[in-house]
Structure 1
Amino acid sequence: MTGRPVRIAAAAAHFGRDLEFCLSRIGKLIDDARAQGADLLVLPNAALGGYLADLRHPDPDALPPALKPDDPLIARVAGLAAEMTVCVGYCEADGHVRYNAAVCVTGDGVLGRHRKVHLPAGETVAYAPGDRFDAFDTPAGRLGMLIDYDKTFPEAARSLALDGAQIIGCLSAWPTSVTNRAPRMAQDRQARLFDLYDQARAAENQVVLASANQTGTLAGLRFLGQSKVVGPGGEILARTFGKAGLAVAEVDVAGELDRARRILNHLDELRSAAYRTHP
C-alpha cells in the first residue's frame, strides 16, 4: 500500500522568553519549511516562551510565561501555518496549574494536544504531569506527540503507535549532560541518548519519527540540536547535527510503514498479556 509522499521537517532553533520574538522565529521557520515543500513541521519544545533555565533547582519566579490553551498566540501560529501542519511546544496554564505542553495546528485550528507525562525531578517544581497519550488525524497522516523525557519511556511511543499513529513528533528542549558535560558535544552522554531514543522509538514501533530540539544556551543549559527525521527501520533520513536549521525528508509514510511491517509486524505480534503492568 502506498500513499502520497509527505515532506516532513524537524526544526532546530533557539527560543527564549520574548514571546513576540519567538513568534517571529516560528514564522521564519514556517516560511523556510514551506519553501522546501514541507507538509508537516515539528518545532522544539518550549518554542513559545523558552524552557527552564535550571533543571535541578528551577526558580519559581523565573518560569516560562504560561499560556491558556486558547491563547491568541496559538491562533497566530495556526494562521502562520495555513495549509501546513505545525507542532509547537509551550507552557500551558490550567488555572494555577502549569503543564509542559504541545499543540498541533493548521490554519483551520487545533488538531491535537499533549501534556508531558514524564517529568524529570527538577521539572516537578514547575509543571504538573499529563496523564495520557493520544494520536489524532492530520493532513500529513495520523500523528502523536511526545515531549522531551517522554521518549525515554518505550511505553509512551508504543501507546501512540497502538492508537494508530503513523508519525510521532518529538518536541524537545534537550540539553547536554548537566552533571557530566563532555568536552565535545559528540562525546556527550545526552547527545548519544537523544539519538538512540529517536532511532529506537521509530524502529520498535515501525513508525516515522520527527524529532525537533532547541539549540544554543539558556543560563547554564546548552541544548543539543540534533533534530532529525527517522524512518520506520530506525534509519536517519535527514538531520541538522548540532546546528540550527531544518531536517527535511520526503516520505511515503503509508508505503514505508507497509514495507517495514510486511514480514515482522511488531504491533500485531505484541503479546501484551505477558507483560507486567506498573502497580
Structure 2
Amino acid sequence: MEKKLAILQIDSVLGDINANLQKISSMIDSIEDKEVRMAIFCEYGTTGYSLDLNAVAEEIPGKTTAFLEELALRKNIWISGGMIEKGDNNKPYNSSIMISPTQGLRAKYRKVHPFSFEKDQINYGDSEVIVDTELGKVAMTICYDFIFPEYIRSLALKGAQIVLNSTFWFADEISGPAGWES
C-alpha cells in the first residue's frame, strides 16, 4: 500500500483555538483515502496569526495536544501542525507538533529562523527535530527555516527522508509572499 500525506488548507479563525481545532477535526474526518497516513496543517494553524501571541500561547503537552492525540487515535492517522507555545521572557515559541496515532505526542519543534517582525515577538528554537514515522524519517521545519539550504541539507545528512515545512505564507497578487522584501 502506498502511503500519502494530506495537506489541510485551513482558514484559521483568528485567536479561536476551539474553532480551529474543530476545523482541523472536520477536515481529518473527511479524509476517505486509506492510503493517507499523515495530515498536516499550517504554521499558526490552531490560532491564526494573532497580534497578541501570548494570549493564545499554550503548554506543550496541553489541552490542544490532548485533543489532537484523541483525534489521531480515533482516525488512526499521524497529525502535524503549528501552534503557539508558552515561552520565557514574555515571548512565546512558534512551534510545530508531531502526533502518532499509537504513541501520542512524539515531538515538538521550535522555529529556529524567525522571519522579519517575528524576531522581536518570539523565542527562537535551537535544535533540529527528526521523527521516525511509518512514512519514514520526517524532519520538522517552520516557514522561514526552509529558506536556509544548509539547514535543510543538514536534516537530510542526518537521515531525514521527508522535510515538512509548516508555513503561514500569505501573498498578494503583485509581490508574492508578504514581507519578502524585508
Which TM-score band (shorter chain)? 0.7 to 0.9
Give the letter for the 1:118 counterpart: H
| Kept in 1: contact 2:83–2:96 (CA 8 A) | yes
The amino acid that maps onto 1:43 is: F
Q: Does 1:11 align with 2:8?
A: yes
- Structure 2 partner of 1:125: 120
C-alpha displacement at 1:140, in angstroms?
2.1
- Separation of aligned partners in 1, 2:176 and 2:61: 38
Higher relative contact order (CA 8 A, sep 6+): 1
Q: 1:166 aligns with which of 157, 161, 166?
A: 161
Letter in 1 for 2:61: D
Q: What does the per-residue CA deviation read over 1:111-133, in whole Å, with 9 as the maximum and x for residues that have no partner?
A: 22211111123112220111121
The partner residue of 1:150 within 145, 148, 153 is 145
Q: How many pairs were matched up? A: 172
Seq. identity, % = 27
Q: What aligned pairs does 1:76-91 form with structure 2 within 5 A after superposition?
A: 76-82=67-73, 83-91=76-84
TM-score for both structures, normalised by structure 2: 0.86
- Asked if structure 1 preserves the Cα contact closer than 8 Å seen for 2:10 and 2:24, the reply is no
Which has the greater radius of gyration?
1
Unmatched tracts of structure 2, length 5 or more: none
CA distance in 2, matches of 1:158, 1:132: 14
The alpha-carbon deviation at position 165 of structure 1 amounts to: 1.1
1:1-279 alignment runs, 5 A limit = 4-15=1-12, 16-33=14-31, 35-37=32-34, 38-53=36-51, 62-63=52-53, 65-82=56-73, 83-95=76-88, 96-107=90-101, 108-176=103-171, 182=174, 188-190=175-177
What is the rounded CA distance, in whole Å, between the counterparts of 1:159 and 1:41 in structure 2? 25
RMSD between superposed Cα atoms in Å: 1.9
SS in 2 for 1:13: coil
Is this contact kept in 2: 1:145–1:170, CA < 8 A? yes
Work out the CA distance in 1 between the residues paired with 2:28 and 2:150. Answer: 31
Instruction: Mark the runs of 5 or more structure 1 residues left unpaired by the alignment.
Output: 54-61, 183-187, 194-279
Moved over 2 A (4+): 94-97, 188-191
For normalisation by structure 1, the TM-score amounts to 0.58
